[in-house]
Amino acid sequence: MKNFLNPYLGSFFLCSALILIGILSGDPYLMTVLTFAGLNALSALSLSLLMGLAGQISLGHNGFYGLGAYLSAIFFLHLKIPVILSILLSAGIASLFSIFLAIPALRLKGHYLAVATLAFGEIVYLLLNEWGPGGPSGFGNIPRISLGSFVLSSSQAYLILIWSLFFIFFVFSLNLSKSTYGKTLKALHNSEIALKTLGINLFTLKLKIFALSAFITALSGALYAHYVTFLSPATFSVFYSILILMMVMIGGLHNLWGAILGALFITFLPEILRVFKEYDILIYGTILTLGLLFFRKGLVYPFERLIYGSYSGSKKSQ
Amino acid sequence: MEVILEVKNLSKKFGGFEALKGVNLSVKKGTIHALIGPNGAGKTTLLNIINGLESPTEGEIFFEGKKINHLSVEKRAQLGLGRTFQLLEIFGDLTVLENIKVALFAKSSWGLLKSFFLGKSFNPFERELEKEAFSLLQIVGLSHKALELAKNLPAGEQKLLEICRALALKPKLLLLDEPAAGLNTRETKELGLILTQIKKNLDVTILIVEHDMELVMRISDVITVLNFGEVLSEGTPLQIQKDSKVIKAYLGEEL
């Protein structure tokens, strides 16, 4: 039982279970929704590192998601770079963009940082509309992921790929949150002045975690491009940033597990609510509002209480 | 004796209010140097300027003979200037041990990507940090509380934690802002012992702002008295106790 509670093993079991449920069901619809949940979970994880761990808000992650998706597709279509390379390259470039954004923006805090990143996301969205292939209506024929002559084409393959990648990044993120580097990021919430007097350069500390977060979101965007094989700017509006923000908040901001729980909940919720026909969006909104009002600590909190007891949850979870 | 910190002709104006007026101060290496004076005398402002949180209107600061006016707080910390705060600035959501590890970590070159890719168990560096942090906690007698959240400690122990965290920086000069405020008599006595030990065993010079006269007289080698932003007097505890100007400033004209 003790081993099962280990977060590394726990996340391994959860990711494997999601893959197995999808494949064993044989239901292409369920597999698709699960795959999207995995992509969302990856983006939510990146935001959880930035917001939950380091306490820096971003409403511009749609920009990185879009850059990752568009750049990877364009690199392959126009420069004929192998897909795997183009995915990594696009995530790297998006991460570079995040540094250009962060240099002025990270001097701001709270609401001001939120607005600055929001503006960045909006600029990327407008540029994709103006300059992206196909303009507002987008473009297709983006190739599937392949290695040499081996092409990933089935829904099963993508389900496995996305959740495996998520698992790998989740493990890395757990490493970070448990490391002293992670504790230093957490200390940003308590006292920036104390960190300064310990000789820590706050600006580079924030800059690095911002770039890492952008990299992971862009990676998620690039995977999205090669999974869906069709891109249009509408996917990359600010709504996406708000969506993953909702995921980490509903899931629980203080714990990385919140990213998985929130992503699964918010990806599946609209699908489940379809039975309510035209009232679905009303019920969706009501559930999210009530969730934010009454479950401040997120979906992860009841699990923390169950595992660690009533009061020490937040201490041991990260 | 070698001078570690030299403040020359330092002035600070906040609008029309002159918090410091031409202050000269020189702290000798290996001493506990106390800075006392009535409320509003400019003691904390002086510490803030030395440590870089505020910049002076006029004047120069030399640390180990090097002018440091233009250096940021972080750079001054890296040179060996540690400090604690009057209002505690501990990392409350971290454990006691983690508070110290974060401080030790600041001196290392262990980066984001290594922490991201390598788990704790594959990471010899984390274990070294832990050992070092434990031995630092032993100096202030907090090692038995290592795994408690810092915010759950009583105020006295939080003060000690802050001092311990500043020590992790391996400072040459430690600036302490009212470390005894809020401590009871027994805790103050312990604090005095710990500070003398730090001076002797770790070779750290201490510049301390403090209102508890008993403590100041017991541990200080030199005392500087500030009044209305000016240096009123300077000398050993015995000299200061007998100084008529100081008695007047503290107790009023009648004496």
Contacts of B177 in chain A (CB under 8 A): none
Q: Which of A281, A243, A299, A181 is nearest to A41 (CA)?
A: A243
Task: Indicate the DSSP class of residue A53.
Answer: I
Say whether A183 and B102 touch across the interface (CB within 8 A).
yes
Contact A116, A94 (CB under 8 A): no
Task: Indicate the DSSP class of residue A236.
Answer: G
Out of A20-34, A100-114, A226-240, pick the least confident.
A100-114
**Torsion angle defined by CA atoms of residues B246, B7, B43 and B20, in that order, rounded to the nearest 10 degrees:** 90
Q: Which of A220, A237, A263, A247 is nearest to A62 (CA)?
A: A237
Res A106: pLDDT: 84
A3 vs A305, residue with greater confidence: A305
Contact A66, A236 (CB under 8 A): yes
Res A1: pLDDT: 44
Burial profile A175-212: b = 16 or more Cβ within 10 angstroms, e = fewer: bbbbbbbbbbbbbbbbbbebbbbbbbbbeebbbbbbbb
State how far the Cα of A269 lies from the Cα of A267, in Å rounded to an integer. Answer: 6
Res A318: pLDDT: 39
Chain B residues at the A interface, defined by Cβ less than 8 Å, are 51, 53, 72-75, 77-78, 82-83, 85, 89-95, 98-99, 101-107, 110-112, 115-120, 123, 126, 129, 149, 165-166, 168-169
Res B253: pLDDT: 55
Span A47-68, average pLDDT: 95
Res A150: pLDDT: 82
CA distances from B47 to B34, B81, B145, B226 (A): 12, 11, 30, 12
Is some CB atom of chain B closer than 8 A to the CB atom of A182? yes
Res B219: pLDDT: 94
| Residues written for chain A | 318
Say whether B102 and A198 touch across the interface (CB within 8 A).
yes
Span A137-154, average pLDDT: 86
Res B247: pLDDT: 82
Contact B99, B165 (CB under 8 A): yes
Q: Tell me the CB-side half-sphere exposure of residue B145, using CA atoms within 13 A.
A: 21
Q: What is the ipTM of this complex?
A: 0.88
Res B39: pLDDT: 84
Picking from A175, A187, A200, the nearest residue to B94 by CB comes out as: A187
Say whether B115 and A194 touch across the interface (CB within 8 A).
no
B130, closest residue in chain A (CA to CA): A180
Span B178-196, average pLDDT: 91
CATH fold group of domain A2-317 = ABC transporter involved in vitamin B12 uptake, BtuC (1.10.3470)
Say whether A190 and B95 touch across the interface (CB within 8 A).
no
Q: CATH code for B3-251?
A: 3.40.50.300
Span A98-123, average pLDDT: 89
Quick one: CA dihedral B241, B243, B249, B254, positive or negative? positive
What is the pLDDT of chain B when averaged over all its residues?
A: 90
Span A231-239, average pLDDT: 95
Looking at the predicted structure, is the pLDDT value of residue A310 above 70? Answer: no
State how far the Cα of A188 lies from the Cα of B77, in Å rounded to an integer. Answer: 17
Is some CB atom of chain B closer than 8 A to the CB atom of A207? no
Looking at the predicted structure, is the pLDDT value of residue B74 above 50? Answer: yes
Is some CB atom of chain B closer than 8 A to the CB atom of A181? yes
Q: Which two tokens stand for residue B172?
A: 């040459």
A252 vs A148, residue with greater confidence: A252
Looking at the predicted structure, is the pLDDT value of residue B255 above 50? Answer: no
Q: Which two tokens stand for residue B189?
A: 């006595």
What percentage of chain B has pLDDT greater than the value 90?
68
What is the pLDDT of chain A when averaged over all its residues?
A: 90
Contacts of A178 in chain B (CB under 8 A): 119-120
Domain locations along chain A: 2-317
The values of phi and psi at residue B9, to 5°, are 55, 50
A202, closest residue in chain B (CA to CA): B74
Looking at the predicted structure, is the pLDDT value of residue A312 above 90? Answer: no
Domain locations along chain B: 3-251
> Model confidence at A263, in pLDDT bands (50, 70, 90)?
very high
> Model confidence at A302, in pLDDT bands (50, 70, 90)?
confident
Is some CB atom of chain B closer than 8 A to the CB atom of A311? no
Task: Indicate the DSSP class of residue A145.
Answer: P
Res A3: pLDDT: 53
CA distances from B77 to A129, B84, B85, B168 (A): 48, 12, 14, 11
Contacts of A8 in chain B (CB under 8 A): 119
Cβ contacts of B254 within 8 Å, gap of 6 or more: none
Which of B91, B122, B163, B169 best probes binding to A when mutated, by most A CB atoms within 10 angstroms? B91
Contact A261, A304 (CB under 8 A): no
Res A86: pLDDT: 92
Looking at the predicted structure, is the pLDDT value of residue B153 above 50? Answer: yes
For chain B, what is the total number of helices (H) and then of strands (E)? 10, 10
> Model confidence at A279, in pLDDT bands (50, 70, 90)?
confident
B252 vs A73, residue with greater confidence: A73
> Model confidence at A7, in pLDDT bands (50, 70, 90)?
confident
CA distance B24 to chain A (A): 24
Span B169-180, average pLDDT: 94
A160 vs B108, residue with greater confidence: A160
Q: Which two tokens stand for residue A169?
A: 């990044």
> Model confidence at B38, in pLDDT bands (50, 70, 90)?
confident
B111 vs A129, residue with greater confidence: A129
Span A54-64, average pLDDT: 94
Picking from B77, B90, B94, the nearest residue to A197 by CB comes out as: B77
Res A311: pLDDT: 47
State how far the Cα of A128 lies from the Cα of B184, in Å rounded to an integer. Answer: 65
Q: Which of A145, A162, A139 is nearest to A83 (CA)?
A: A145
Is some CB atom of chain B closer than 8 A to the CB atom of A52? no
Contact B21, B229 (CB under 8 A): yes
Res A4: pLDDT: 52
State how far the Cα of A276 lies from the Cα of B155, in Å rounded to an integer. Answer: 56
Span B60-83, average pLDDT: 94
Contact A255, A298 (CB under 8 A): yes
Say whether B101 and A183 touch across the interface (CB within 8 A).
yes
Q: Which of A243, A236, A245 is nearest to A126 (CA)?
A: A236
Say whether A209 and B112 touch across the interface (CB within 8 A).
yes
Contacts of B99 in chain A (CB under 8 A): 187
Alpha-helical (H) ranges within chain A are 2-5, 7-25, 28-47, 61-79, 83-105, 110-131, 155-178, 180-190, 192-197, 202-228, 238-251, 257-272, 280-294, 300-308, 313-317
